[in-house]
Amino acid sequence: NAGVTQTPKFQVLKTGQSMTLQCAQDMNHEYMSWYRQDPGMGLRLIHYSVGAGITDQGEVPNGYNVSRSTTEDFPLRLLLAAPSQTSVYFCASSYRGNSPLHFGNGTRLTVT
Amino acid sequence: LAKTTQPISMDSYEGQEVNITCSHNNIATNDYITWYQQFPSQGPRFIIQGYKTKVTNEVASLFIPADRKSSTLSLPRVSLSDTAVYYCLVGVYYGDGNKLVFGAGTILRVKS
């Protein structure tokens, strides 16, 4: 049981490039979410999903797209990377609404 | 959307009990209170969750007064390895306008 797996661990992009951050969980959790964490700040919610085929925006959705075609996977897409998107990105999942969140170990993204 | 307020930082010594209080004045009836611990370069990790009164597990206790407008995480006999950031999270689930939002967290430094 691997829990929540995020890939890659590190990534450097140039402004304007695109990429997809991968997130997979093997716990059959319905709820998944993406957070970003910037130095000295807490975690800010980007997008979330309450089940396959259902996604919605969080606090800071601009510049990011998500989709949820399967229960296991919840990729985060950056279409036109900007330096302001330099951050550490965490994916989380939970069994149901009031269940504790399980986090991956993050992807550290630098946009130059 | 329940907003939380925590102290920015706290210092303690090994072997002491540490209490971290979180204020959440506009907590909703269905909201649970969950605490997470985060070490550098790792995702947050679940510590404890409660709805009212007192909850205890093998690592911590959570005290919630009757009005539920605050909660206190109690760590008994801390060690150097408890140095981390602690987050209080109030909410129920994603969807229907609910969004789990983290506060800035409390940096706990344990000294020898």
Among candidate residues B40, B35, B28, B39, the one with its CA nearest the CA of residue B59:
B35
Mean of pLDDT values over A8-19: 97
Q: pLDDT tens digits for A79-93?
A: 999 999 999 999 999
Q: Chain B contacts of A33, Cβ < 8 Å? A: 94, 100
DSSP reduced 3-state for A68: coil
Quick: pLDDT tens for A42-94: 888 899 998 999 999 988 999 999 999 999 999 999 999 999 999 999 999 99
Among A35, A43, A55, A91, the strongest candidate for a mutation testing the B interface, having the largest count of B CBs within 10 A, is: A43
B-chain residues within 8 Å CB-CB of A2?
Answer: none
CB within 8 Å: A100 and B34: yes
A103 touches chain B (CB under 8 A): yes
Higher pLDDT, B92 or B50: B50
* A106 phi and psi angles, rounded to 5 deg: 90, 160
Interacting residues of B58 by C-beta distance below 8 A, sequence separation 6+? none
Instruction: Tell the burial category of A69 from Cβ atoms under 10 Å away from its Cβ (0-12, 13-18, 19+).
Output: exposed
Helix locations, A24-103, DSSP H: none
Nearest to B100 among A45, A102, A106 (CB): A45
Q: At residue B100, what is the residue type?
A: L
Nearest CA-CA partner of A58 in A41, A66, B88: A66
User: Looking at beta carbons, which residues of chain A come within 8 Å of B94?
Assistant: 31, 33, 48-50, 56, 97
pLDDT digits (tens, 9 = 90+) for B25-43: 888 888 889 999 999 989 9
Q: Å from A39 to nearest chain B CA? A: 11
**Residue A85, pLDDT score:** 97
Residue B87 CA to residue B6 CA, distance in Å, equals 8
C-alpha torsion B90→B93→B96→B99, nearest 10: 50
pLDDT at B3 (0 to 100): 78
pLDDT band at B98 (very low <50, low <70, confident <90, very high): low
A74 CB within 8 Å of a chain B CB = no
